[in-house]
């Protein structure tokens, strides 16, 4: 992940402050299992940051935000780990178990909204890459995620 971050520093801007073991343990305790290795490595490089995509700025979640999302039930609702979002409500997730039709660890772009009457989440999920590392390499090569 460190090599990818350096190679694609033009699109990936990480926080100057990496996550420590205590922060990682708190997130993993909230999840009930370890984070995917790629996400763990990314957090160890910087706690949050941005991806500068051609048509959007994507905000990478900080460890604290990941734990809050788990506590709020977002992880359970999506059955995936959200790791980033943009200003329009698009969420980027890691499908840990491959239940969305791709390989375990696949990265998806998810757009969701709630209907007032039925309170049903409406989703538009698109597979972007087979892993977080592949996703960063994908956007680093100038490919769009939208």
Rounded to the nearest 10 degrees, how much is the dihedral formed by the CA atoms of 70, 76, 77, 81? 60
For residues 30 and 74, what is the distance between their CA atoms, to the nearest angstrom?
12
CA distances from 51 to 22, 81, 83, 114, 136 (A): 25, 18, 12, 26, 9
- Whether the CB-CB separation of 105 and 131 falls below 8 Å is answered with yes
Statement: residue 47 has pLDDT above 70: yes
Per residue in 11-23, pLDDT tens? 999 999 999 999 9
Per residue in 95-119, pLDDT tens? 998 888 889 999 999 987 666 655 5
- Domains in the chain, start-ordered, CATH in brackets? 2-140 (3.40.1580.10)
Per residue in 57-88, pLDDT tens? 999 999 999 999 999 988 888 889 999 999 88
Question: How many C-beta atoms surround the C-beta of residue 121 within 10 A?
Answer: 12
Backbone phi, psi, residue 50, to 5° = -140, 155
Helix (H/G/I), strand (E/B), else coil: 37: helix
């Amino acid at each position: 992940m460190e090599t990818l971050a350096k190679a694609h520093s033009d699109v990936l801007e990480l926080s100057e402050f990496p996550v420590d073991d205590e922060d990682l343990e708190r997130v993993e305790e909230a999840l009930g299992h370890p984070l995917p290795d790629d996400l763990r490595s990314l957090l160890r490089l910087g706690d949050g940051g941005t991806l500068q995509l051609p048509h959007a700025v994507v905000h990478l979640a900080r460890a604290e935000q990941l734990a809050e999302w788990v506590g709020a039930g977002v992880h359970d609702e999506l059955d995936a780990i959200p790791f980033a979002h943009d200003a329009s409500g698009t969420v980027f997730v890691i499908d840990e178990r491959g239940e969305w039709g791709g390989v375990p660890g696949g990265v998806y772009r998810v757009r969701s909204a709630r209907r007032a009457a039925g309170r049903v989440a409406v989703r538009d999920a698109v597979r972007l890459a087979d892993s977080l590392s592949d996703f960063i390499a994908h956007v680093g090569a100038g490919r769009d995620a939208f």
